[in-house]
Every structure is written in structure tokens, then in C-alpha cells.
Structure 1
Amino acid sequence: MKNDKAYTYVLLRYRHDPLAGEVANVGVLLHCAATGFLDLKVRRTIGRLSKMFPDIEKSHLVSGLQALDRGVARLRVNDLHGMLVASADAANFARAVLPDDDSSLIWGSMGSGVTRDPAASLDKLYNRFVAQYDENARSGRDDAAVWQPVRERLAERNLVERLQPKMIVSPIDQVEFEHAWKNGAWHCYQPLSFDLSSGDGIREKAARWSGHMTGLSQAPEAVMPYFIVGGPSNGTLDDDYRRAIDLLKASALSPAVFEESQVDELIDMIEGAFAAHDAHSESSS
């Protein structure tokens, strides 16, 4: 389709024992030349790797992944008009931040595809190649299930159609929100299900979205984010869930966080904001 854009990607792999050839995927780097998108998504926790390789040096691997993440972020900011040209591909950028050597982190071969949303494609590739077999990847409810009661209440008040998808783009990140509207700033609503099977999964998801808030804080458009969060069905994970909420609230852009028990409060707030906006528009016309 005409809106589809070509992209390339490479897998980042952890090589535990070069002689034995033992490797595990730990990240994905994706580049979309048409949109200038370049991002690396890496593991934030290494629980599964610890089971695969009991003698793994955890701190060394985590610091290496963090260094690569920072390196790609610098490359994205500094080379928007340099390497980020149509002829470049994911492999070029990958080896610009991590040349081929005998270290424990190595790049795999390059793949390609087409997408309308590079960030979403990066998430899908990460889930497919990195997180597919993680216990914490399994969720009792997904984000759509958390949004469903919000949608139903919006429909009751004839407000559903007033929300629209919006891609927020900054020099270092981009995120598409399915539910947004503009009133000076873009008010963006993101459901998040923390109904996961492990504390690591909950913390990693919260950290990922907190990172998005940092990235979007540099967007030229004003953004007001709202998170609607669903808790875990496993009560032993409540402490991890509360810490996830605290992390989201402390993030850049000061997002508002509503739990599922606060859906009616959220709907009243949205309806009031629409009413105030409409009244102002009428008085100005």
C-alpha cells in the first residue's frame, strides 16, 4: 500500500561462549529511511538468560546493553542529516555503535519489511525474536481489554468519535496513541495492562513507557499523557504494580495515571474538558 514504508532491522545477540556457539537474542535495531526512524530496543531484565546461562555476568551485560542504547540515541540525534539517508540501512547503524569484534554482544544478519508504524514494528520484532519465550511476556489481559470499559463509557456519552489516533514525534522517539484529541496540547490516552505473570515483566513495561515519556518530552508539540492502568490478577505482584504506577507518575511530562477503579473519574474529566472546549469555541465564533 502507498502508506507502507520499507525498513531494515538487525538482531542484537548475546554470545555466552564463542567456542560453543551459544547465543540468545537480546535486542532489535530498526531503521526506516523514509521516516528517519532509528531505534534500538534491548532487554531491561535478564531473568530468562540467567536460567539459560547460570554463570552469566549480569552487571556486565546490563551495562553493555545500556551503553548501546545510549549510543544509538546519540547517533539518532547527531546524524539526522548525516548517516540517516536513504542509502543507509540498519546494519550500517548497528556497526557504527558496535563494530564486529570478539565481545559478548554481536549483531545478526539483516532483515527487512514494510510498515506504516516503525515503532510498532520494532515492538513486534522484539516480542517475536527476544521476548517470545519469556514467562513475563504472557498477559492475562492486554491493553485493549483495559481500554474497553473506558470506550464503553465514552460511547454512552457520545464521546468516542472525538478521539483520534495521533503520532507524537520528537528528535529521539515517536509513539502513536490510538486515543487523542487536541485542546492547545495533545491529550493522549494510553491503556496499560500490568496483568503479567512476573514482577520483572511489570517493571520492564513501566520502564519502557517511562522512557517514551522522556523521549516525547522533546517533541515540538505540547503533549499531556494519561495512562489507564490495569493491575495483575496475581495478588503477590501488587507491590511491583504499585512501584510501576509510581514510576509512571514520576516520568517526564508528568502523566496522569488512572487505575481501573477510577474510570468514571477519568470519563467525567474528559467530558468536562470537551464541554469547556466547546463553550470556548462557541463564545469565540
Structure 2
Amino acid sequence: MTDKLPYSYTLLRYVHDVLTGEFVNVGVVVFAPSGGQVRFKVRRTMGRLKGVFPDLDRAAFMSAMASTRRALQQIAKREQDAGMFSSLVNAGDIARRALPLDSSSLQWSDCGTGVTKDLDATLDRIFERFVARYDTHARDRKTDEDVWRPVRQRLEERDLAQCLQEKSIQGGLDAIFFKHAWKNGKWHVYEPLSFDLVDADGIKSKAREWLGHLSAVVADGRAEDFKPHFIVGAPSDPSLHDAYRTAIAILERAPNGPEVFEEGELDALVTQIEDEVRAHRQSH
């Protein structure tokens, strides 16, 4: 009978915005105290990251991953030499020595535990489950621009696209830039939001971010009068539907009474714009 080894593991997360907390897993460290066995695997490619965070600085990210990899290699060698005399308790201890906790974009998760007969196979399984599983689907995820494209096409068909312009809404504390807006007494601003993200936390965090933006702009009452309209794209993963509905509810509770249009309601949105533009033209 082969003895099973107790082990612990921790995930390395890339946190794109520490304020919203939206993250993607980018590595795994596994540690079996018996014999001081350390195994790790971290990203060597961008994978789905560029699709999820289009403004990610690739060079800076790859440099940070290389530094983390080198630090883990040194600690793994040290623990192998120490063997049963290792003073470290779990994978979190290993991880924090390689990359201490701070406010940077690379953060460690809480530890998980288990038992295994094959530590290398366990490392591969955890990496596949938490890091690599979405890579093949990243290119298929809708972006904000993908959500807006059919709106623009409908507007062009009705000769309305030229009515929209860029607008920055300035408040005392913050400002929001909108690519699509027009004025009819007050500014009507339109923002496409794709919620075709990788997990529920990311979906809700994106909605909370917009709730925060709008709240900051109107906080002191100095912003121009404006009406927000969100055009939202649903996640492709059916299991994230509840998070998507929660995100919509968060947007609807934002200041200035936003209207939220889903992808099946685009004709209604464009008809509303057409009616308002026609009425505005007739009144002038």
C-alpha cells in the first residue's frame, strides 16, 4: 500500500485593479511537508489575460512572473535540502517567502489542503482546474465593443449615428468619459458593458465599479445633468447567470436612474433614441 502525502496549495492571482478586486489565477504552489517537497507552476504565456484585461502591460506582467518563478525555484531548492527539518508549515509560507504580501497586482489566495499519492500529478490537476481551464475560450468572449457594435449598426441604418458624440461628465470629485452621448435638455450617455467574464466575482465587481464611478461624479451635485444608459452583454457561461442578474440590479441602483438594456432589447433602445431625437428636432 502506497502512503498518501498530506499537502497544501495556494493560488497566485493577478489582480488587475486592487480597488475592484477583479482577478485571474496565474499560478499554483503545492507543498508537502514530508520531505520538504515543493512544486509550483506559473504562467509563461499571457493566455486569456489579454482578452480579459486588454490594457494589461504585457512586458511588466511577464517580468513579474519571471521574478516570481526564480524566487520559487530558490525556495524549492532550499526546502528540498532541509527535508524533514523544514520550519515551513504550508504552501502559504512558501509563497509569501517568494512574494511577500503587499499591495501589488500579484497576490496569494488562502490555502487549500488534500492528500495525494503523486504530488506532480496533483500540481497539474490544480493548475488545469484553476489557471488553464478557460484559455481555449478566451478569444470567444465578448468585449464592450462587441456589445456596442449591433447598436451602432442599427443607428447607422436609421441615420442616427451622427447624432452621438463624445462627452466627459465632470463632477467635483471625479469625471467619466463616454464615447456615445447626445444632449436633449440634459445629456444622454450610453455605455456598453460586456459581462462575459470568467467568474461571478469579476462580473459583480465590474458593475460595482460603475456604481462607484457614478456615485463619485454626482456626490457634490456639481456635475451636469445627465441620464446614463447601459447596454449589457450576458456571460457565455450559463452558470454565471445569477451573477449577471445581480450586476444588472447593481447598475439599476446607481445614481441618476440608469436604464439598462440587454442584448435582446437593442431595437427598443434604438427606437427610443430615434423618437427622442425626432421630438428634439421638431421642438427646435
* Largest Rg, 1 or 2: 2
Q: CA 1:141–1:25 in structure 2 vs 1: closer, same or farther (change >3 Å)?
A: closer
Instruction: Name the TM-score, length of structure 1 as normaliser.
Output: 0.54
Offset at residue 183 of structure 1 (A) = 1.1
Question: Aligned to 1:211, what secondary structure does the other structure show?
Answer: helix
C-alpha contact 1:214 1:253 (8 A) present in aligned 2: no
C-alpha contact 1:26 1:42 (8 A) present in aligned 2: no
Tell me whether 139-148 or 223-232 shows the greater mean CA deviation.
Answer: 139-148
1:253 corresponding residue in structure 2: 256
Offset at residue 173 of structure 1 (A) = 1.6
Q: CA 1:45–1:161 in structure 2 vs 1: closer, same or farther (change >3 Å)?
A: closer
Structure 1 unaligned runs (5+)?
1-22, 29-40, 55-102, 109-132
- 5 Å-filtered alignment, 1:116-195, equals 140-195=141-196
Instruction: Name the TM-score, length of structure 2 as normaliser.
Output: 0.54
C-alpha contact 2:14 2:24 (8 A) present in aligned 1: no
- What is the Cα-based RMSD across aligned positions, in Å? 3.2
Q: CA 1:235–1:205 in structure 2 vs 1: closer, same or farther (change >3 Å)?
A: same
For these two proteins, the number of residue pairs brought into alignment is 175
Amino acid at match of 1:184: G
Q: CA 1:252–1:52 in structure 2 vs 1: closer, same or farther (change >3 Å)?
A: farther
Offset at residue 24 of structure 1 (A) = 7.7
Amino acid at match of 2:141: G
Q: Percent identity?
A: 39
2:276 to 266, 273, 276: 273
Question: Aligned to 2:180, what secondary structure does the other structure show?
Answer: strand
In structure 2, C-alpha distance between the alignment counterparts of 1:232 and 1:46, rounded to whole Å: 17
Question: Aligned to 1:253, what secondary structure does the other structure show?
Answer: coil
C-alpha contact 2:15 2:24 (8 A) present in aligned 1: no
Offset at residue 43 of structure 1 (A) = 4.0
Amino acid at match of 2:240: L
Question: Aligned to 1:177, what secondary structure does the other structure show?
Answer: strand
Q: CA 1:46–1:159 in structure 2 vs 1: closer, same or farther (change >3 Å)?
A: closer
2:242 is equivalent to residue 264 of structure 1? no
Amino acid at match of 1:200: D
2:221 is equivalent to residue 244 of structure 1? no
In structure 1, C-alpha distance between the alignment counterparts of 2:144 and 2:226, rounded to whole Å: 21
Offset at residue 252 of structure 1 (A) = 1.4
Amino acid at match of 1:195: D
Structure 2 unaligned runs (5+)?
1-11, 32-99, 106-131
1:42 corresponding residue in structure 2: 19
